Amino acid sequence: MCGIIGIVGSTDVTDRLVDGLKRLEYRGYDSSGIAVLDKGVLKRERAEGKIKALEAKLKETPLDGSIGIAHTRWATHGVPNENNAHPHFAGRVGVVHNGIIENFLEIRKKLGGKRTFTTQTDTEVIAHLVDLALDSGLSPIEAFKTSLKELHGAYALGLIINDNPGYIFAARAGSPLALGIGETEMYLGSDATALAQLSQKLVYLEEGDWAVITKDNYDIFDKDDKPVERPITIISGGPAMAEKGNYRHFMLKEIYEQPETIGRTLSNYISDFHRETNIPEGIDFKNLDRVIIVACGTAYYAGAVAKYWFEQIGGISVEVDIASEFRYRKPVLSQNSLFIAVSQSGETADTLAALRYCKASGLKTAALVNVMTSTMAREADIALPINAGPEIGVASTKAFTSQLTALAALALAAGRSRNTLSRDGEIRLSRSLIETPRLVTQTLELDSIIEAFAFDFSKAKSAFYLGRGPYVPLAFEGALKLKEISYIHAEGYAAGELKHGPIALIEDGTPVIVIAPYDNLYEKTISNMQEVSARGARILLITDAAGAKISEELADDLIIVPTCDGFVAPIIIAIVVQLLAYHTAVHLGTDVDQPRNLAKSVTVE
């Protein structure tokens, strides 16, 4: 949430800062800005909206300078306009910030008599604190260091000072920040993606660290201001900026990549030859009494599906929680639990906080992530990759199916370790998982049928998604996908729960998407479907050939997915709800890859 980049360069930095911002745009796209020191003088340009608006302004009024900081914003405090866009200036100081300064009102009050605040942001107080400290005669380093002590909350900062052209100051508490080492330059960025074109040699700041960066050196200090060395990480190959290719949107490209990305996930967790799962080193499923899965958004729904798998196949009790709720309810934790954080980015603030909470409580922790250089991957006892490759569309698609795939394989590993799954059972279920890329390819062939349905669907004001068992989280995920990119109000429900209230909302023509491949709960779901149909709902039934044979005539529209083992059906159904949301949003003309008000990486609570 919010992206930061900084360069202490030997040549003009503006174009490279803008390039870095484009890579960071997934973290927020409400507004952006850039500040440089031009012969020691602070100058800036800011713009409301996407980076291209800033680029256009920079074409009109170019900025030159060999030191600069830049920012792309996801608004927390203050509306997203140019005035609230970073960098924020106060006197000699310019600052970019990711996070939330929780005591900013207190600081504002304290400085009220001495300072005038010109924005609604929490960030502006940082620039004022440092500038005031400089006024009091402190050196730039001392001014920066003492000001940090006044801040409560989460921050990743980049700060430059007028007349002090050799330095960028940086600090990290609660929000990720890395330094990039160049031959004749140094860099600062929110993550490896931001720095990809600049450096492959990264140094991740740790909690409470702050740093002074010059063109050819950097010094890092810990929270007690002691000089520290942090390890250098070499990023292999450099995460290339994903390209859309011939696809209209990244989201569509990522939906279509799924046969390949699921295959990549599988290769890590299943041995094709032996038809068995690889039990990740460090996980002793046999002696666990509980698995705790914590995540946000789409990743949470992946965890919710996995609960069914771990319980039914691994015979192990699973608790799934929303990360923003987990630690505040003071959960009762047993030492024999395995904590699994599920996160595409590996940076989501609440999920990371839950991981740290469990680690501090002595639990074994694992992080199932797409970004292996992320904070969660580095801090968890066990980092579990999903290998889905860079996901650019804000609405998560391929990361979701890869999370499901990895969790399904882990459930098989649990079943084997705990003797709740026979060898034959393991062979059958591993085979089904290995078949998934092929089944996903077949499901993608339904694209034009789904697109045709989406045309009418896009006229709806509200929609419902229903399912039972593992299809309940799929109903939630389907509704979430639709809401986030098409802005149509949608709710997912357990099919049996609808009659306890929400059915009152069904009117003539209300679209209801029913997810019901043929299984032991099929008939019950179909009864629930008839309850809403009797009240005028327009039914889209997502089922398989066996289900369609029975209920074809009861549904207004039908999508028949390839026949497969019920174990992997949630992965297949995911493709359908993704395509449905995508085509609906395209009909409505929304910004599919960067929907309003959202960000891909949410690094504030």
Does 394 engage in binding with ligand G6P (CB under 6 A)?
yes
CB of 220 to ligand G6P, least distance (A): 27
Helix (H, G, I), strand (E, B) or coil at 229: coil
Q: Report the 10 Å Cβ neighbour count for 163.
A: 11
Distance (Å, rounded) from C-alpha 500 to C-alpha 442?
A: 37
Bridge partners of 371?
Answer: none
Angle of helix 471-486 versus helix 569-588 axis, rounded to 10 = 20
Does 322 engage in binding with ligand G6P (CB under 6 A)?
no
Token pair listed for 81: 């306009």
Does 297 engage in binding with ligand G6P (CB under 6 A)?
yes
CB of 179 to ligand G6P, least distance (A): 23
Distance (Å, rounded) from C-alpha 91 to C-alpha 128?
A: 8
Segment interacting with ligand G6P, rule: CB under 6 A, options 146-154, 392-400, 540-548, 558-566: 392-400
Distance (Å, rounded) from C-alpha 571 to C-alpha 266?
A: 13
Contact yes or no for 198/70 (Cβ under 8 A): no
> Which residues belong to the active site?
2, 600
Of 593, 370, 423, 577, the closest CA to residue 490 belongs to 577
Query: By Cβ distance, which residue is nearest to ligand G6P?
Result: 297
Does 436 engage in binding with ligand G6P (CB under 6 A)?
no
Does 602 engage in binding with ligand G6P (CB under 6 A)?
yes
Of 577, 576, 571, 264, the closest CA to residue 408 belongs to 571
Residues 344-363 within binding reach of ligand G6P (CB under 6 A): 344-345, 348, 351
CB of 297 to ligand G6P, least distance (A): 3
Distance (Å, rounded) from C-alpha 303 to C-alpha 311?
A: 12
- The nearer residue to ligand G6P, 323 or 495, going by C-beta atoms, is 323
Segment interacting with ligand G6P, rule: CB under 6 A, options 81-89, 293-301, 417-425, 436-444: 293-301
Distance (Å, rounded) from C-alpha 403 to C-alpha 495?
A: 24
Q: Report the 10 Å Cβ neighbour count for 561.
A: 22
- The nearer residue to ligand G6P, 186 or 577, going by C-beta atoms, is 577
Does 296 engage in binding with ligand G6P (CB under 6 A)?
yes
Helix (H, G, I), strand (E, B) or coil at 247: coil
Helix (H, G, I), strand (E, B) or coil at 346: coil
Angle of helix 423-444 versus helix 398-417 axis, rounded to 10 = 170
Does 190 engage in binding with ligand G6P (CB under 6 A)?
no
Distance (Å, rounded) from C-alpha 502 to C-alpha 495?
A: 11
Does 574 engage in binding with ligand G6P (CB under 6 A)?
no
CB of 351 to ligand G6P, least distance (A): 5
Question: Which stretch of DSSP H or E encloses residue 503?
Answer: none
Q: Of the candidates 111, 333, 554, 598, which one interacts with ligand G6P according to CB under 6 A?
A: 598
For strand 382-385 and strand 3-8, is the pairing parallel, antiparallel, or unpaired?
unpaired
Bridge partners of 89?
Answer: 94
Question: Which stretch of DSSP H or E encloses residue 439?
Answer: helix 423-444
- The nearer residue to ligand G6P, 301 or 493, going by C-beta atoms, is 301
Segment interacting with ligand G6P, rule: CB under 6 A, options 29-37, 227-235, 238-246, 594-602: 594-602
Helix (H, G, I), strand (E, B) or coil at 177: coil
- The nearer residue to ligand G6P, 264 or 600, going by C-beta atoms, is 600
- The nearer residue to ligand G6P, 196 or 394, going by C-beta atoms, is 394
Does 406 engage in binding with ligand G6P (CB under 6 A)?
no
CB of 170 to ligand G6P, least distance (A): 23
Size of the site for ligand G6P (CB under 6 A): 16
Residues 387-419, buried b or exposed e (16+ Cβ, 10 A)? bbbbbbbbbbbbbbbbbbbbbbbbbbbbbbbbe
Segment interacting with ligand G6P, rule: CB under 6 A, options 139-147, 199-207, 391-399, 581-589: 391-399
Distance (Å, rounded) from C-alpha 252 to C-alpha 258?
A: 10
- The nearer residue to ligand G6P, 395 or 579, going by C-beta atoms, is 395
- The nearer residue to ligand G6P, 448 or 597, going by C-beta atoms, is 597
- The nearer residue to ligand G6P, 14 or 396, going by C-beta atoms, is 396
Q: Report the 10 Å Cβ neighbour count for 136.
A: 10
Does 374 engage in binding with ligand G6P (CB under 6 A)?
no
Q: Of the candidates 85, 579, 600, 604, which one interacts with ligand G6P according to CB under 6 A?
A: 600
Q: Please give the single-letter amino acid code of residue 399.
A: A
Segment interacting with ligand G6P, rule: CB under 6 A, options 41-49, 254-262, 281-289, 388-396: 388-396
Does 75 engage in binding with ligand G6P (CB under 6 A)?
no
Does 343 engage in binding with ligand G6P (CB under 6 A)?
yes
Q: Of the candidates 31, 32, 164, 298, which one interacts with ligand G6P according to CB under 6 A?
A: 298
- The nearer residue to ligand G6P, 307 or 483, going by C-beta atoms, is 483
Does 299 engage in binding with ligand G6P (CB under 6 A)?
yes
CB of 595 to ligand G6P, least distance (A): 9
Name the residues that contact ligand G6P, by CB under 6 A. Answer: 296-299, 343-345, 348, 351, 394-396, 598, 600-602
